[in-house]
A and B are shown apart, each in its own frame.
Chain A
Amino acid sequence: MTDYKATQTYTPGRRAAAFWFSDGLVEIVFGLLIVSWAAWGILAGSLWMPRWVLWGTWLLLYGFFYSCLMGYPKIIDFLKSRITYPRAGYAQPPAEPLPDQDLLHDMFGRIPPDPLITLRTARSPGENISKFRVHTLVLIFVAHVIGIIGHAWPDTHILAILMPGFALLLFLLNCREAHPYPWHSVIPVALAGLLPIFVKFFSAIAMVFPMLVFGLWMLLRGLWILMRFLNLHRKIRTLEHGRA
């Protein structure tokens, strides 16, 4: 069966962009962030607390996540300098955008930046994942918002339509990018949408269900890629391979 994943890694620039994702660290960091957000949503929905406490903690969490979103290049660079660069080397894709900008990327780039999800199309050196943010993170956020709206009508089983739809979008939007998702990797996300039909989730879980599923999926996928990367690149260089 043909695997319709991206095959656009043959140019050096594209290979450098793909290399950025080859260790799974980006997905681990963002997966943890999304799962934490969902976990907080479940906790906040489960415990009774005064409204001012609830809003206060949401604001604090909002600030924390925003800091993470702003600071993630440094976080990832820190992790890569300890895990990736000693094993596989270091490459930085060029600052200018990849030539095949699509309409979706342009549309989201024109929307004023939202504090929760930064939609700016940053292309500064070391960024490398602007399309990942638009084609993956924004999609997850939109799924989450629709999931919250759909929670108001539980009998419509909106997640059964939403999750497979977003899984398909995730695959299609990224299949030509530097970081594609193989078709089989998004199947668990699609199937997770059917769970609420058979299992009655606690209300707090039902509300953040899409985010929880996507977050777990991203985290597990990142860990799997990291495991493969470490297996492939076992040797750590101890001496600097400089010029003779």
Chain B
Amino acid sequence: MKDTLRALTQIDRMIHEPARLMIMMILHGVGEADFLYLQREGGFTQGNLSSHLAKLEEAAYVEIEKKYKGKLPLTVCRLTPKGRDAFASYSRSLLQTLKKNSPY
């Protein structure tokens, strides 16, 4: 039990933050999404979302691209392969730990 609990100290703290976790979860379920969609789905403020996306981009988990849909400019975000692997690993690790240690 000590080992499985200690595994929590190795958890990816870049993802293990509520707002960033929400962003990763939303992006994991879509091919790509724009800033406005992320903001509405996660209930973020503009500044909050920008700040977290910047951190995720710095960690190379998310890539951000400015493009056009017709004449509409969009800031489109998507998970990188590294981001997908990191999220999968984080999910597995957390679920495993919770499974072994949760009373429910």
Assess whether B34 is in contact with A91, with CB atoms less than 8 Å apart.
Answer: yes
**Given the complex of chains A and B, what is the CA–CA distance between A169 and B100 in angstroms?**
44
In the complex, chain A residues 57-107 whose Cβ is within 8 Å of any chain B Cβ: 77-78, 80-82, 85-86, 88-95
Size of chain A's interface in residues, with CB distance under 8 A?
29
The reply to whether the CB of B85 lies closer than 8 angstroms to some CB of chain A is no
In angstroms, how far is the closest chain B Cβ from the Cβ of A11? 6
Contact A243 B30 (CB under 8 A): no
Q: Which residue of B lies closest to A125 (CB)?
A: B31
Kindly list chain A residues whose C-beta atoms are within 8 Å of the C-beta of B64.
243
Q: Provided the pairs A81-B69, A85-B72, A241-B46 are in contact, do residues A11 and B29 lie with their beta carbons within 8 angstroms?
A: yes
Q: Which residues of A contact B74 (CB under 8 A)?
A: 85, 90, 240
Check if A14 is an interface residue, CB within 8 A of chain B: yes
Q: Give the number of residues in B that approach A within 8 Å (Cβ atoms).
A: 33
Shortest beta-carbon distance from B89 to chain A in Å: 18
Q: B29 to A15, Cβ gap below 8 A?
A: yes
Q: Are A242 and B66 in contact (CB under 8 A)?
A: yes
Q: Which A residue's beta carbon lies closest to that of B76?
A: A90
* Stretch with Cβ within 8 A of A (4 or more), from B3-11, B12-20, B48-56: B48-56
Does A184 sit at the interface, judged by CB under 8 A?
no
Q: Which residues of B contact A242 (CB under 8 A)?
A: 35, 50, 66, 75
- What's the nearest-Cβ distance from chain B to residue A150, in Å? 42
Best-surrounded residue of B36, B47, B54, B76 (most CB of chain A within 10 A): B36
A228 interface hit (Cβ, 8 Å): no
Asked whether A88 lies within 8 Å of B66 as measured between CB atoms, the reply is no
B38 in the interface, Cβ–Cβ < 8 Å? yes
Instruction: Choose among A77, A82, A91, A242 the residue with the greatest number of B CB atoms under 10 Å from its CB.
Output: A91
B-to-A contact residues, CB < 8 Å: 25-41, 46-47, 50-51, 53-54, 64, 66, 69-76
Known: A16-B33, A244-B46. 8 other contacts (CB 8 A): A12-B25, A12-B27, A16-B30, A85-B72, A89-B40, A90-B34, A241-B35, A243-B75
